[in-house]
Amino acid sequence: MSKHLVTGGAGFIGSHLCRRLVNQGNEVIAVDNFLAGTIKNIKDLLGCSNFLFIEGDLRNEELFIEVAKGVDCIWAIAANMGGIKMITDVAADIVRDNIRLNINALEACRINKVPHYFYSSSACVYPEYRQQDINVIPLKETDAFPAQPDQFYGWEKIFAERCVYAYKKDYSLNVRVVRFHNIFGEAYNAFDSQRGKAPAHMIIKAIKHPNPPFVVWGDGKQTRSFCYIDDCIDGILKLMASDYDEPINIGSDRLISMTDLANMALSLASKDAELKYDLTKPQGVRGRNSDNTLVKKVLNWSPQVSLEKGMEITYKWAVEHYDELEGL
């Protein structure tokens, strides 16, 4: 057994990670201030003897240092972030909150001499100039520089990566950095209208259709790749067990348009619809896809759950828990 601190432990990725670590017999401390997370995501863990939940705001450096005492690994997953509308509309709050969180995490790791440190970065670090075509060339890790993310969220993430490696250089921290590519799956807050991602939004629209009508943001031709949450957790646990300490992609390398994703959600709901496109809404870069060459080589990892299967699992969960979902 080892002792893990998961920041954002009541969030989407954080709650799934907590569950996996607990089920493996580890001792887990989860901390969340409920800015984006919800206690409902971890309600099944609250009675476990090897799980402790602390409601707290890790933008407070003293609190972070205190809760990190005696842990073997800090998983720095907490972030102020959301879907494309939120990260388009909000800049200063995202930059301020996340820089505080990440510096506090590194300081807590340094001061407490924590043996292992994980930082959750994002595919948003990749330059806008490499993502201007719907048939985008998959993004490999070395493409991050010269830097030109399309949102402040991406700039904050790439700066935080550099902070991680500054601490590695000066204080010999044992670090791991993952760039997530659109992780999706079941969680209560994953369906929030401001913070949820495209698969969840499409599923909710399919459940609600035909009232209101099914609206796709942008022209529907923009493309992304989506990775199911179970595959994501498999990948980051493999990374932590490896000796690879440079940034690495965790995502799917299958590209799909927003129109095709919308039709996939409608098919799961056994509905047919004429899609309406709203060109006034933000749509982000034209295309983004993960190059998985490196992660296959160093971790022997690739997604095992197809997009269709992941969407089916998530859709069924959303229907079952619809009345409990937040911020629809």
Active site (catalytic) residues = 153
Pairing state between β 51-55 and 27-32: parallel
Closest CA to 6 of 156, 227, 172, 19: 19
Q: Where are the beta strands (DSSP E) in the chain?
A: 3-7, 27-32, 51-55, 73-76, 116-122, 175-180, 183-184, 215-217, 223-224, 227-228, 248-250, 256-257, 276-278
Q: Is 124 exposed, middle or buried (0-12, 13-18, 19+ CB in 10 A)?
A: buried
Beta bridge partner(s), residue 176: 118
Distances (CA, A) of 230 to 88, 225, 234, 302: 28, 16, 6, 12
CB 164 within 8 A of CB 117: yes
CB 59 within 8 A of CB 80: no
